[in-house]
Amino acid sequence: MDRQDHIVYIVDDDPRVRESLSELLSSADLHAVSFGSASEFLAYRKPDLPSCLVLDMDLPDINGLELQSRIGHDEHPPIVFVTGHGDIPSSVRAIKAGAVDFLTKPFRDTDLLDAIDAALAQSGKERLASAELSDLRQRHSTLTPRERELLPLVVGGLLNKQAAAMLGISEVTTQIHRGHIMRKMRAESLAELVRMAGLLKIPISHSRHGNVK
């Protein structure tokens, strides 16, 4: 992995652990930045790269689970917990909240590196999905109000005649609007448009065979 295409954050209050982990990651050609507290990590200006967070459970300001909860509502690096005082309830809580792994010190270097690789892969996929969603939202914003009204009907499978009747417009006008929707959304098929609408969470209130519950 290129050292410039990712970043691994290490948050641990023990400088010896930070140094050891940094050396391990460097030997695996992984770029790491370390912090001694949660507040230092939160204040750091993070580059727009695939990343992961190697997080100690016991920190001087807030503990690792609290940090996980605090950043959980925002886009954040996938987390790999490392702790010298792990217990089953904490590990279950961490994993349920989305942590990639929960390692108890001392752990094998290979286990940590495998967890970091998985976290970076997950981060890369999440970034691609986020970029796609952002692009779809931009395309959707170019639709006219009438086209936005028609879109749920189109992806619901309504024929032009049915959609026209619901919107109180002519079938020809509906067909024109439908063409504009396909072009602006850059959808090559109805199936692709349906997938896009699903990603955008556009509610489908009607279908060709009746209302969708």
pLDDT by residue for the chain (213 residues), tens digit each?
555 689 999 999 999 999 999 999 999 999 999 999 999 999 999 998 999 999 999 898 999 999 999 998 888 999 999 998 778 899 999 999 999 999 998 899 999 999 999 999 999 999 999 999 999 999 999 999 999 999 999 999 999 999 999 999 999 999 999 999 999 999 999 999 999 999 999 988 676 655 443
CATH number assigned to the domain covering 142-211? 1.10.10.10
pLDDT at 85: 78
The CATH architecture one would assign to domain 7-133 is 3-Layer(aba) Sandwich (3.40)
pLDDT for 24 equals 96
Q: Where in the chain is the domain with CATH 1.10.10.10?
A: 142-211
What's the pLDDT at 208? 62
If DSSP states are collapsed to H, E and C, what string results for the chain? CCCCCCEEEEECCCHHHHHHHHHHHHHCCCCEEEECCHHHHHHCCCCCCCEEEEEECCCCCCCHHHHHHHHCCCCCCCEEEEECCCCHHHHHHHHHCCCCEEEECCCCHHHHHHHHHHHHHHHHHHHHHHHHHHHHHHHHHCCCHHHHHHHHHHHCCCCHHHHHHHHCCCHHHHHHHHHHHHHHHCCCCHHHHHHHHHHCCCCCCEECCEECC
Can you give the pLDDT at residue 3?
52
The predicted structure's pLDDT at residue 107: 92
Domain with CATH 3.40.50.2300 in the chain: 7-133
Give the model's pLDDT for residue 86: 73
pLDDT at 212: 42
